[in-house]
């Protein structure tokens, strides 16, 4: 069976690597954090002291790193450390330009590559129910599919190189905007004397229905599992939402797309982060809207 090198064992990469082990893969792991390497060892990952040691005798390498600059610096070393033909997969969420450069680096060393960002958060990573959105050649996608199946539930081939990142950026722009829309509706409902439950009962079966309302409701009560019921502990942190919205605005500027609500959402999440909420769940933006409405 395929043996896999996994680089970046953080909130997402740690549980994803553990699920690969559970599925029977041999997984060699690397992270700059010793503590995370130790945690990974406990899930059956073979901890390695360097990138070179991690990719020794593996046929696939997965990276799950914070941002484009980390991916490019790791891939620069990676592509010259593996034999040609090694499958390289980046699951991080990065800007389109970095994704394009990573694919080009891999192609220059005759390594097939995929951009494969995920949605589903840390819960989905632990449960093995992530959604993968994948960019790259169809034949390469087919090669990677069993690996994705060990970590996720929905695996979608979005098109050629960078299409996965494009889908991720567009999806999360919808998410950021829709969470603000739902938050605004609850704050307006409060002003109008409407209970949270009444608004939820109507909107969740009417045309206002969306994931930000029905799965991730930003007020406590209607959806008991949403972070609002747990003092907005993430979940999906405000810092990550701002990161993804900034990627959408970079992509919009580069392509000439007009995204006025994406721009406004970016501005509001920037303020949310500046006010000390970077570590709070992004659905906590409702509290900013409530404060701006006079409490």
Binding site residues, ligand NAD, CB under 6 A: 7-13, 30-33, 36, 64-66, 70, 74, 92-93, 118-119, 121-122, 236, 240, 243
Smallest gap from Cβ 187 to ligand NAD, in A, equals 25
User: To 10 degrees, the CA torsion angle through 165, 173, 182, 224?
Assistant: 20
Smallest gap from Cβ 48 to ligand NAD, in A, equals 10
**Number of Cβ atoms within 10 Å of the Cβ of 171:** 16
Residue with CB nearest ligand NAD?
10
User: Measured between alpha carbons, how far is 286 from 282 in angstroms, rounded to an integer?
Assistant: 9
User: Measured between alpha carbons, how far is 206 from 104 in angstroms, rounded to an integer?
Assistant: 46
Judged by CB, which is closer to ligand NAD: 13, or 164? 13
**Among residues 69, 143, 153, 168, which one is catalytic?**
168
27 within 8 A of 44, measured Cβ to Cβ: yes
Judged by CB, which is closer to ligand NAD: 118, or 185? 118
Judged by CB, which is closer to ligand NAD: 86, or 92? 92
Helix/strand/coil percent split, the chain, to 5 = 55, 15, 30
Smallest gap from Cβ 244 to ligand NAD, in A, equals 7
- Cβ neighbours for 125, distance < 8 A, ≥ 6 positions apart: 11, 12, 14, 15, 16, 19, 118, 151
**101 in catalytic set:** no
Judged by CB, which is closer to ligand NAD: 91, or 199? 91
Smallest gap from Cβ 184 to ligand NAD, in A, equals 24
102 within 8 A of 113, measured Cβ to Cβ: yes
| Residues designated catalytic | 168
């Amino acid at each position: 069976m395929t043996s896999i090198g996994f680089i970046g064992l953080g909130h997402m990469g740690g549980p994803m690597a553990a699920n690969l082990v559970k599925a029977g893969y041999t997984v060699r792991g690397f992270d700059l954090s010793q503590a995370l390497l130790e945690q990974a060892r406990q899930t059956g990952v073979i901890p390695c002291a360097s990138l070179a040691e991690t990719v020794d005798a593996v046929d696939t390498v997965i990276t799950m790193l914070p941002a484009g600059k980390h991916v490019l610096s790791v891939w620069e070393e990676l592509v010259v450390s593996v034999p040609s033909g090694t499958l390289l997969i980046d699951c991080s969420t990065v800007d389109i330009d970095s994704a394009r450069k990573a694919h080009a680096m891999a192609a220059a060393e005759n390594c097939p590559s995929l951009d494969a960002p995920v949605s589903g958060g840390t819960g989905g990573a632990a449960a093995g129910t992530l959604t993968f959105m994948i960019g790259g050649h169809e034949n390469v996608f087919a090669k990677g599919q069993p690996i994705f199946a060990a970590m996720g539930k929905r695996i979608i081939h979005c098109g050629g190189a960078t299409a996965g990142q494009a889908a991720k950026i567009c999806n999360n722009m919808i998410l950021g905007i829709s969470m603000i829309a739902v938050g605004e509706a609850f704050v307006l409902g409060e002003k109008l004397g409407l209970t949270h439950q009444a608004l939820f009962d109507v909107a969740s079966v009417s045309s206002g229905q969306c994931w930000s309302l029905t799965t991730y409701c930003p007020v406590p009560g209607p959806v008991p599992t949403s972070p609002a019921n747990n003092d907005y502990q993430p979940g999906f942190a405000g810092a990550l939402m701002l990161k993804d919205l900034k990627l959408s605005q970079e992509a919009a500027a580069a392509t000439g797309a007009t995204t006025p609500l994406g721009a406004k959402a970016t501005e509001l999440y920037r303020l949310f982060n500046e006010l000390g909420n970077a570590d709070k769940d992004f659905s906590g933006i409702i509290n900013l809207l409530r404060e701006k409405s006079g409490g």
